[in-house]
């Protein structure tokens, strides 16, 4: 596996693969890789003839006071895992390579409506940062296909919309959330949980499951269902940001009587902020 941090080296390698007619699959990550990331890599290995994984902790998607400085950086361990997984190229740029002039968002493409509300209400600026870095990485890697996790469901919708709006010739593939045996969605931020919080954490998934089951069974009082779920999380010890029933395609509030959709939830638990969702 090649490990590259410079843009020139990256371009040369991508151009050589392109000249050979290789189909390139790309997995953007912020590193500290776990089984959830490796599931994305597995999918990329199926979808592409050459697989590129980026490891870059993107400063513009962290608000002041969030965990940018302390975000776990484990590049050497990540490199070993990617090599074992069969990845062709690890791209781990410095901040100045991605942001040569200033560490700021690129406002040329505004966050689409699917990126408003939910995460955006609690992490203003987050999607502007994600769009900025994903677009730059797409420009550099020029993949045929890029793979994202469904755990960050709104992010997946935002990226799909951006690719469509900008007519980028990139297929976006998604992979189901990988969970611990007790249902907790894998996340690098789970390591912020204390032992006691770790016991409570799977209840976010459990609560979303109850919401989805209620709707699938025909209950239609969505605001009440959302509020009861939020309250349940609070009683369990979470500080919930939202539990919300939405259309799985548009992320608009679920229309009355719909039996399928997505329920998304986010809640703080100690130092960690957990997000999860369930498509039903």
Positions touching ligand PAF (CB under 6 A) are 28-30, 58, 61, 130, 133-134, 152, 155
Least distance to ligand PAF from the beta carbon of 193, Å?
A: 19
Cβ closer to ligand PAF: 130 or 266? 130
Q: How far is the CB of 66 from ligand PAF (least distance, A)?
A: 12
Q: Is 101 a catalytic residue?
A: no
Which residue in 34, 37, 101, 205 is the catalytic one? 37
Q: Which is nearer to ligand PAF, 152 or 226 (CB)?
A: 152
Question: Hey, which bits of 176-215 come out as E strands?
Answer: none
CA separation for the pair 254, 107 (Å, rounded): 30
Closest to ligand PAF by CB, 58 vs 177, is 58
- Cα separation, 214 vs 222, in Å, equals 9
Conformational region of residue 63, where left means phi above 0, alpha means psi within -120 to 50, and beta covers everything else = beta
What is the rounded distance in angstroms from the CA atom of residue 2 to the CA atom of residue 64?
34
Outline where DSSP puts E strands in 18-170: 24-29, 50-55, 89-91, 145-149
Q: Please state the closest distance from residue 19 (CB atom) to ligand PAF, in A.
A: 28
Query: Closest approach of Cβ 150 to ligand PAF, in Å?
Result: 11
Contact in structure between 253 and 177 (CB atoms under 8 Å): no
Question: What is the rounded distance in angstroms from the CA atom of residue 96 to the CA atom of residue 24?
Answer: 25
Q: Which residue, 28 or 265, has its beta carbon nearer to ligand PAF?
A: 28
Positions annotated as catalytic residues are: 37
């Amino acid at each position: 596996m090649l490990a590259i941090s410079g843009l020139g080296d990256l371009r040369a390698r991508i151009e050589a693969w392109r000249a050979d007619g290789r189909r390139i699959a790309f997995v953007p990550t912020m590193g500290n890789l776990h089984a959830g990331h490796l599931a994305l890599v597995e999918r990329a290995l199926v979808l592409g003839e050459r697989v590129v994984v980026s490891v870059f902790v993107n400063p513009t998607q962290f608000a002041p006071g969030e965990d940018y400085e302390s975000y776990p950086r484990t590049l050497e361990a990540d490199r070993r895992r990617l090599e074992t997984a069969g990845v062709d190229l690890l791209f781990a740029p410095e901040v100045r390579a991605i942001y040569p002039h200033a560490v700021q968002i690129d406002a040329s493409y505004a966050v689409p409506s699917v990126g408003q509300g939910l995460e955006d209400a609690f992490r203003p600026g987050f999607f502007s940062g994600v769009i900025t870095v994903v677009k730059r990485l797409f420009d550099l890697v020029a993949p045929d296909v890029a793979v994202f996790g469904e755990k960050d469901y709104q992010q997946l919708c935002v990226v799909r919309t951006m690719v469509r709006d900008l007519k980028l010739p990139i297929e976006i593939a998604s992979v189901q959330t990988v969970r611990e045996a007790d249902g907790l969605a894998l996340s690098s931020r789970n390591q912020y949980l204390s032992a006691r919080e770790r016991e409570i954490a799977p209840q976010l998934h459990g609560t979303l499951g109850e919401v989805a089951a209620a709707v699938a069974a025909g209950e239609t009082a969505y605001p009440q269902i959302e509020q009861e779920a939020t309250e349940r999380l609070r009683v369990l010890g979470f500080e919930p940001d939202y539990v919300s029933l939405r259309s799985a395609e548009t992320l608009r509030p679920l229309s009355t009587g719909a039996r399928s959709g997505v329920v998304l939830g986010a809640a703080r638990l100690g130092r960690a902020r957990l997000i999860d969702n369930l498509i039903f």
